Amino acid sequence: MIVALMMIVAPFLSAAGSGGAVTTQDSLDPNGFLGLSERSTVPVSRATLVAFDGEDLMDDLAYLACVPASTFYSEEDGVTVTSPLMFYQPTMDSPSDAETALDAGVGIEYLMQDYVTASGSRLSSVTTVDVPRSEAEGMAARWNADQLVMIKGGEAAGTAARIATANWEVARTAVVAVVDPSVSPMDDVVTGNVSGTVPAVGTVGGEFSGSIEPSFHSESSHNFDVGDQYKFVQAVLEWSTPGPFPGLTQRGKELGMHLYQGEIMVALSTEWNAFSGPLDTAQSFVYTPGPWRAAVVFIPTMGFNAPGYDGPSYASRVFEAAQYTITYDLFGGVDMPIPDVPAAGARNARFTLTWEGGRELGLLIRGPSGQEIASAIGGASPGRHELEVAELGNGMYTASVINLDGQAVEADFELEYEWTETMSELEVEGLVGATEAAVLASELNAPLLYATPDGVPGATIGAMDTLGTTDVHLVDLTGNYDRIIKEMGSFRGAGQPGIAITTHRDLDVLISEIADLGQRGREGRQDVVITTLNPWDYWHTNSNAENPQGERWGGRFFGPAAYAAANHGTPVLVTEADPRLSCSNAYHNVYWLRAYAGRSPAPVGAMYLTGQQVVDAIASYGLDGEGMESLLTVAGQFEIGTAWDRALVGATTPGRIGGTPVDASVWISRCNTYPLVIFANPGVDQSIDPHDGKRIVGSRSTRTLGTLRTVEPETEVQMDNPVAFTWACYLYKFNERASEYWGASYQAADGTIPNESPSDHPWDGGTLPDICEDVFEDYSRQAGYGEAESAGYDATVENLN
């Protein structure tokens, strides 16, 4: 293996006099470790940092050019060679509490402290791109780098050429991506209108009554049919409990209602009786007519620690069956397709519905898969509804106009719409192509260079001549390949080797080719990496802040996503390149803007429909193999809304790396090298622990007659193999207490009952543990870990770091 690595690394990644490239001496372990993609991964003792600039795209394109220089696959040895690749920003001098989430430079220092330790307290080299000299020299000194390679930034083609010649002495194969680095934000307003008539369909409905006892796993269902003429359903659940004092006897009880279209839940009530009383409402667009079902569940709430909730006689008196009544109504309406199709990244959409005649109409805006994006049901000014939608995807949208007043009389209406398109087709095609090209270059162990729609820059020609390039993979999704091929064909004169060009012009084919290359060295596993071209919306940690605070147009996540994909051996799916992904992305962004502060639950039907769109897109690219794929989303919470991840649970194993673009690059670098840097953990190696094995254990307190009293102060405790615990929940012996208090025990979906079902694990003593926070402590203690319990923010962060 060592000899083979010398053959790989030295000829293809040795520097032309600059000393910035990987050499065999850089390898930390020639045998490597099993990496993210289940390929063998060989880490090297170097790091690359690209200065982050939130105002333009030059840093993003430079980062892409660094991907194959930092991570590449050796086909001869079946290993991935990798090292950290990060956007760089210095640590903030004195950030406010609200700005702590923006101080990404701290993460760089934390990672590099670990990486340098794991590299034997030195690095072979540090490479920087567009980082000021004093800051680059400071990093090289702090990290004990033998060499510092500083690469000048600037326009994309020149920077990529300098990165290539600093990292390859010879490169017979190169990847050239066609991208226009001069793209800028667009501000094109699209307007239009449509007219229509709501059909003469009156409201019909029905009613069900029943009773239900407290249960964590059973329900009471009632079926009804929805005809083709109906577009909207609303169900209201009213309930009561026995006894003369309902305000008292209903405390701690919670009935809920679910609406099903066939076997798929499309809506649920979210009211809590402590605030709304014994009344629940669920509404849904009629996605498919036919059999529907309303189900009632009786799930106890967790408020049993209040005074007066402890006596068994009280429990036996209040937790009897609840009586309920469901009233449902079906409303007619009409679907009106929006004739204009938004481009990816359309923002600030407005839909205005107007009508006459004193009628009551409702408005739903729905996406291509039918998902409800925004609605106005009731509460409008007479004859008018106006809906604002923050973002639309690249797909066909529909306005559904609903007859809410029950009259079987037609009603005429007009719908006006407008939105602003912010991304040009050239921007999307160029950046998507460059992102895929970076991963392709990594798989081919080749440098990434750039051409523009106007031709091949001199810097790119010069780099290919310097490197002796004879084979070019041209990635061009912009449609300018003929001109570029002709231009490349004229580069070399008589007696010089020509250039053979392989073109990649179809995104679907390119994704498939990268996926096939990524299967080398492993057995059939398929990972998926998804990102977006949406600019970064930055936010503050203050819970009262109106987030996001603003946009950094040049802050993008496609660079770190390409770096992650190169280590996973998979292409990148960019949402703007596929209408299914684009529209699902837009939905989750719109929802998350409404929900992030209060974490209100997402509409179930829309979650299912958008999640299915994503899964369908993955399958269409051939990335949906047997079992669940590991899906990594690389984007901030406002670039791909957080609920996106939850929509994909079950069909995939989803994960997310977000924060700022700098954060994302740091966390991906840590994940890529995790099997190495974990052993730089002072928790397992006290020789590198500045606290000599001591960790903070929080204070212990008790409450007597409403007064909080500290009985043990916060202190430092010596411990081996510490695990940080911080309690944010209050579940304690849940089923033991629930069975006495509610007369019901929680049962998991697999039929097991905590605290009752048998367990064959010796640590459990024959019975599954209860749902109880201190179970984690029991397990960690029996495994030989120390428990660093803390609840305060500062102590918890200190223990973790």
Number of domains comprising the chain: 3
Cis before 300 (ω within 30): no
Give the three-class secondary structure for 794. helix
* C-alpha dist (Å) from residue 488 to 473, 484, 491: 12, 6, 5
- Average pLDDT in the 115-142 region? 96
Report yes or no: 167 and 447 within 8 Å, Cβ to Cβ: yes
**How does residue 26 score in pLDDT terms, banded at 50, 70 and 90?**
low
Q: What is the pLDDT of residue 130?
A: 98
Calculate helix-pair angle for 58-70, 156-167, nearest 10 degrees. Answer: 20
CA 614/CA 625 separation, integer angstroms: 15
CA 86/CA 22 separation, integer angstroms: 17
- Per-residue model confidence as pLDDT tens digits over 298-326: 876 544 343 333 433 444 444 578 899 99
Q: Residue 16 has what DSSP assignment?
A: S
Find, among 238, 284, 252, the residue nearest to 265 by Cα: 284
Percentage of the chain surpassing pLDDT 90?
62
CA 11/CA 628 separation, integer angstroms: 39
The answer, yes or no, to whether residue 481 has pLDDT greater than 90, is no
The better pLDDT of the pair 280, 88 is held by 88
Cis before 758 (ω within 30): no
Q: What is the pLDDT of residue 391?
A: 97
Domain final position from 421, 439, 460: 421
Q: What is the DSSP string of 416-451?
A: EEEEEE---HHHHHHHHHHHHHHHHHHHHT--EEEE
Task: List the structure tokens of 318.
Answer: 């209040």
Q: What is the pLDDT of residue 304?
A: 38
Q: What is the pLDDT of residue 15?
A: 33
- Ranges of H-type helices in 630-788: 643-647, 661-672, 674-677, 734-741, 774-782
**490 & 573 share domain:** yes
**511 & 605 share domain:** yes
Task: Note the residue count of the chain.
Answer: 801
Q: Which domain holds residue 195?
A: 191-421
Question: Residue 312 class from Cβ within 10 Å (0-12 exposed, 13-18 middle, 19+ buried)?
Answer: exposed
CA 740/CA 257 separation, integer angstroms: 25
CA 321/CA 302 separation, integer angstroms: 18
Q: What is the pLDDT of residue 485?
A: 87
* Domain at 234, CATH number: 2.60.120.380
The answer, yes or no, to whether residue 8 has pLDDT greater than 70, is no
Of 22-26, 293-297, 534-538, 721-725, minimum mean pLDDT range: 22-26
The better pLDDT of the pair 273, 3 is held by 273
**229 & 303 share domain:** yes
- Average pLDDT in the 161-185 region? 95
**378 & 445 share domain:** no
Average pLDDT, the chain: 88
* C-alpha dist (Å) from residue 563 to 37, 394, 663: 13, 26, 13
CB-hemisphere CA count at 13 Å for 552? 20
**271 & 126 share domain:** no
Q: What is the pLDDT of residue 72?
A: 96
Domain final position from 641, 657, 676: 676
Report yes or no: 415 and 399 within 8 Å, Cβ to Cβ: yes
**652 & 589 share domain:** yes
**699 & 756 share domain:** yes
Q: What is the pLDDT of residue 307?
A: 38
Q: What is the DSSP string of 760-790?
A: --GGGTTBPPPS-THHHHHHHHHTT-EEEE-
**25 & 139 share domain:** yes
**248 & 369 share domain:** yes
**529 & 655 share domain:** yes
**605 & 743 share domain:** no
Report yes or no: 296 and 212 within 8 Å, Cβ to Cβ: yes
Domain final position from 646, 676, 706: 676
* C-alpha dist (Å) from residue 632 to 561, 567, 588, 637, 658: 9, 12, 16, 14, 10
CA 659/CA 227 separation, integer angstroms: 46
Report yes or no: 684 and 663 within 8 Å, Cβ to Cβ: no
Q: Residue 260 has what DSSP assignment?
A: E
Calculate helix-pair angle for 105-118, 661-672, nearest 10 degrees. Answer: 20
Give the three-class secondary structure for 498. coil
The answer, yes or no, to whether residue 631 has pLDDT greater than 80, is yes
Of 11-20, 175-184, 238-247, minimum mean pLDDT range: 11-20
CA 609/CA 639 separation, integer angstroms: 20
**How does residue 32 score in pLDDT terms, banded at 50, 70 and 90?**
confident
Task: List the structure tokens of 27.
Answer: 């390898």
**629 & 570 share domain:** yes
The answer, yes or no, to whether residue 3 has pLDDT greater than 80, is no
Q: What is the pLDDT of residue 252?
A: 54
- Per-residue model confidence as pLDDT tens digits over 59-97: 999 999 999 999 999 888 889 999 999 999 999 999 998
The better pLDDT of the pair 716, 378 is held by 716
